[in-house]
Amino acid sequence: MDKTAVIVCGSSGKMGQSIISLIEEDQYQELIFIGGVDIHYSENITKKPINIKDIEDKKISFGKFITLKEALHFTSSVKNRVIIDFTSRQSSLVHAEEAMLYNVPIVIGSTGFNEEDIAKITGYSKHMPVVLSGNMSLGINVLLNIIYNTSKYLGKDYDCEIIEMHHRHKKDAPSGTALMLANAVAEERKLDLKESAVYGRCGEIGERFENEIGISSVRAGDIIGEHKVIFAGNDEVIEITHKAISRNNFARGAIKAALWIKGKKAGFYDMRDVLGLENTHE
Sheet of 31-37: strands edge to edge? 63-65, 31-37, 4-9, 81-85, 106-108, 129-132, 267-269
Residue 79 in marked binding region: no
Residue 14 in marked binding region: yes
Residue 253 in marked binding region: no
Contact 72, 102 (CB under 8 A): yes
Residue 48 in marked binding region: yes
Residue 10 in marked binding region: yes
Closest CA to 91 of 75, 73, 108: 108
59 CB contacts (<8 Å, ≥6 apart)?
A: none
Residue 156 in marked binding region: no
Residue 92 in marked binding region: no
127: left (phi over 0), alpha (psi -120 to 50) or beta: alpha
Of the candidates 120, 156, 170, 281, the residue annotated as catalytic is: 170
**How far, rounded to the nearest angstrom, does the alpha carbon of residue 265 sit from its chain's CA centroid?**
20
Of the candidates 64, 95, 166, 227, the residue annotated as catalytic is: 166
Contact 52, 32 (CB under 8 A): yes
Residue 176 in marked binding region: yes
CA angle 73, 3, 6 (to 5 degrees): 45
Residue 194 in marked binding region: no
Residue 11 in marked binding region: yes
Instruction: Give percent helix, percent strand, percent coil of the chain, each to the nearest 5.
Output: 35, 20, 40
* Three-class SS state of 53: helix
Residue 211 in marked binding region: no
Residue 53 in marked binding region: no
Residue 136 in marked binding region: yes
Q: Is 177 exposed, middle or buried (0-12, 13-18, 19+ CB in 10 A)?
A: buried
Contact 139, 242 (CB under 8 A): yes
**Catalytic (active site) residue 281:** no
Residue 15 in marked binding region: yes
| 197-199/63-65 β-pairing | unpaired
**Catalytic (active site) residue 166:** yes
Catalytic (active-site) positions: 166, 170
Binding-site residue positions for NADP(+) = 48
Instruction: Give the residue numbers of the binding site for NAD(+).
Output: 10-15, 109-111, 133-136
Question: What are the binding residues?
Answer: 10-15, 48, 109-111, 133-136, 167, 176-177
